[in-house]
Amino acid sequence: MTASNRVPTKEDILQAAARIAPFVHKTPVLTSQTLDSISGATLFFKCENFQKVGAFKFRGATNAVLQIKDNKKVKAVATHSSGNHAQALALAAKMNGLRAYIVMPETAPEVKRNAVLGYGAEVIPCKPTLEAREETLKQVVAETGASFVHPFDDYLIICGQATAALEIIEEVKELDVIVAPVGGGGLISGTALAAKYFGNHPEVFAAEPENVNDAYISVQGNKLVKLKNATSIADGLLTSLSNKTFEIITENVHGVITVSEQEIIDAMRLVWERMKIIIEPSSAVALAAVIKSQNQFRGKRVGIIFSGGNVDLKKLPF
Amino acid sequence: MTASNRVPTKEDILQAAARIAPFVHKTPVLTSQTLDSISGATLFFKCENFQKVGAFKFRGATNAVLQIKDNKKVKAVATHSSGNHAQALALAAKMNGLRAYIVMPETAPEVKRNAVLGYGAEVIPCKPTLEAREETLKQVVAETGASFVHPFDDYLIICGQATAALEIIEEVKELDVIVAPVGGGGLISGTALAAKYFGNHPEVFAAEPENVNDAYISVQGNKLVKLKNATSIADGLLTSLSNKTFEIITENVHGVITVSEQEIIDAMRLVWERMKIIIEPSSAVALAAVIKSQNQFRGKRVGIIFSGGNVDLKKLPF
């Protein structure tokens, strides 16, 4: 088996960390006395909002691009996304001399299309349905020979995302818990694997909007459930789990905590006002979960992964 | 002469840095490849937006409070302000066992009054005129025996503010230039003195809103000019220079660069979107000045002091 078709091992994650190190930011871990007193815990914030393209997604994309380049001798990558993964893959490809083809719904905001174009990728518009996206992607792959990089249902991606948790576990000694948001599950899967292999094996909790609680339902029922048309201010977390992430989460995550839209907004505002850093709503979901579950985390050393900082300043919830 | 009645010396600044070190954050210096390419210079951002109370003002206030406590055996401090200095003095006093009396116009926003009350200070309301503020302050000082701490026309304050520049000069080797915003002139005066005494003596430029260009006019005409009723989005910079700050600036600052309201907003947006940190408009004035003066700073190593991060999220200019 190669790294691309097995659940990442300890060695895979260490190799990924070394592989991507020249390309990614080693993001800072911040603390806040104010948020400690509000939460009753000692919090450590891993700031992937400061990562390149403004999100942890650049870690996984870089790991995938480097492996694809080495192993498959292909010259291009492709994906369908209008979010952080699209930008991450575009930049990772550009930095490593590969072409990137991004299938994007024709309804995607111009600012997102421009961001991807700015990283030198080719944008292929499609109708705004999942079927159209998948069909268009298939055509692109057939025509260009590009390697498809799924945003989360991909062990190379999961392995890359694991390096954020690896960094905070190495930097902050004796973490009791790590909380990260869950959407498609790439970040939380990587986090759970890193916690399983490294440090003193902190417990890992997934944080999810109540409005999009497919991970909560799937874990409770031990059966992968997908939601349709769910919506949340945490627009990075609208995706449902995949087979690969569901399996890793089921085996390695200690619980899923859901939070309301208002709890997400309140946590986001706390971070903006008190820490003076910009996080996107998806990041705030993890802090909201910790504040909501005070009894569970009181007195503990809790790592929180701020997944990204890409917000539209014209559409703030405050 | 004591430190309170002379222009701060090299030794005064070093002593202030040691004195306040247990109380203030040593704030980080951040960099941004994106802003480097936009500006054509290599930029280093000293992030006083991460300072306690969200602004550099806490340095000066802490230095003043500690000196007053040691030297004068007084038990209270007082000032008139509704801005960052009020919060800074209130917290510095609280941390050091002094009472703080803050004279504040009765029209000040509730959120500002509550912030000061939250630091345990007493708020004395007055009519919203400069005369009423000064008269009320006089009464407070007479009744309480508090020591008046002016927000900038005070050598202890200037000396405390100088420690921000001292830190970036020590951390970033071979800075060519430092740019800081100018309002009353406490920060820029401290910055200019630190640059005069330390490192390789970077040139210092003051950045000012065109709308409130009293420092520019005063320096050009070599005569202290005060403006009335000027307004700018950079609400921390509405104050005019004082005798003490005008003298230090005239002798030690290499130039004053003015920027338009739109340039301030554009620079602020750049920082929020690209650096993912929250700065207040006054901080953005310094970056706007560097972007505007590209020819002057091209290829240089430029320190920029982000003075603070206190913004009302309900009143953003974007």
All domains of chain B in start order, with CATH: 3-55+154-306 (3.40.50.1100), 75-145 (3.40.50.1100)
If pLDDT is split at 50, 70 and 90, which confidence band does A4 have? confident
**The predicted structure's pLDDT at residue B229:** 87
Six-digit token pair at B114?
A: 């509550």
- Tell me the mean pLDDT in the region B202-230: 96
Q: Check CB contact under 8 Å for A276 and B309.
A: yes
Contact A285, A316 (CB under 8 A): no
Alpha helices in A41-185 (DSSP H): 57-72, 84-95, 110-118, 130-144, 155-171
**The predicted structure's pLDDT at residue B7:** 98
Q: Check CB contact under 8 Å for A276 and B316.
A: no
- Tell me the mean pLDDT in the region A105-111: 86
**The predicted structure's pLDDT at residue B128:** 87
Candidates A91, A119, A276, partner chain B, best to mutate (most B CBs within 10 A): A276
Q: Give percent of chain B above pLDDT 70.
A: 99
Nearest residue on chain A to B273, alpha-carbon basis: A310
Tens-digit pLDDT profile for residues A88-100? 999 999 999 999 9
Q: Is residue A29 less than 8 Å (CB to CB) from chain B? A: no
Q: Check CB contact under 8 Å for B276 and A316.
A: no
CB within 8 A of B311, min separation 6: which ones? Answer: B278, B280, B281
In terms of Cα–Cα distance, which of B272, B308, B44 is closest to A50?
Answer: B272
CB within 8 A of B108, min separation 6: which ones? Answer: B82
Tens-digit pLDDT profile for residues A274-310? 999 999 999 999 999 999 999 999 999 999 999 999 9
Task: Quote the mean pLDDT of chain B.
Answer: 96
Tens-digit pLDDT profile for residues A7-65? 999 999 999 999 999 999 999 999 999 999 999 999 999 999 999 999 999 999 999 99
ipTM: 0.93
Q: Check CB contact under 8 Å for B313 and A313.
A: no
With beta carbons under 8 A apart, name residues in chain B contacting A309: 276
What span, in angstroms and rounded, lies between the C-alpha atoms of B95 and B116? 13
State how far the alpha carbon of A106 is from the alpha carbons of A126, B204, B248, in Å. 6, 49, 58
Distance from CA of A309 to the nearest CA of B (A): 6
Task: Quote the mean pLDDT of chain A.
Answer: 96
Q: Check CB contact under 8 Å for A269 and B318.
A: no
**The predicted structure's pLDDT at residue B83:** 87
Q: Check CB contact under 8 Å for A276 and B273.
A: no
Residue indicated by tokens 């503020």: B133
* Beta-bridge partners for A45: A30, A304
If pLDDT is split at 50, 70 and 90, which confidence band does A82 have? confident
What span, in angstroms and rounded, lies between the C-alpha atoms of A24 and A285? 24
Q: Among the listed ranges A261-265, B250-254, B309-313, which one has the minimum average pLDDT value?
A: B309-313
Give the angle subtended at the CA of A239 by the CAs of A238 and A242, to the nearest 5°: 155
- Whole-model pTM: value is 0.94
**The predicted structure's pLDDT at residue A165:** 98
Q: Reduce the DSSP state of residue A224 to 3 states and report it.
A: coil
- Tell me the mean pLDDT in the region B295-300: 97
Q: Is residue B54 less than 8 Å (CB to CB) from chain A? A: yes
- Tell me the mean pLDDT in the region A241-248: 98
CB within 8 A of A17, min separation 6: which ones? Answer: A163, A166, A167
In terms of Cα–Cα distance, which of A45, A37, A274, A316 is closest to B310?
Answer: A274
**The predicted structure's pLDDT at residue B1:** 63
If pLDDT is split at 50, 70 and 90, which confidence band does B82 have? confident
With beta carbons under 8 A apart, name residues in chain A contacting B314: 318
**The predicted structure's pLDDT at residue A109:** 83
Q: Is residue B181 less than 8 Å (CB to CB) from chain A? A: no
**The predicted structure's pLDDT at residue A73:** 78
Sign (positive or negative) of CA dihedral A210, A213, A215, A221: positive
Provide the pairing of β-strand B29-30 with B42-47: antiparallel
- Tell me the mean pLDDT in the region B104-112: 87
CA distance from start to end of chain B: 49
Q: Among the listed ranges A288-292, B107-111, B269-273, which one has the minimum average pLDDT value?
A: B107-111
With beta carbons under 8 A apart, name residues in chain A contacting B276: 49-50, 54, 277-279, 309
Q: Is residue B1 less than 8 Å (CB to CB) from chain A? A: no
Tens-digit pLDDT profile for residues A174-212? 999 999 999 999 999 999 999 999 999 999 999 999 999
If pLDDT is split at 50, 70 and 90, which confidence band does A1 have? low
CA distance from start to end of chain A: 49
Nearest residue on chain B to A315, alpha-carbon basis: B318
- Tell me the mean pLDDT in the region A98-115: 91
Six-digit token pair at B257?
A: 């660069």
**The predicted structure's pLDDT at residue A103:** 96
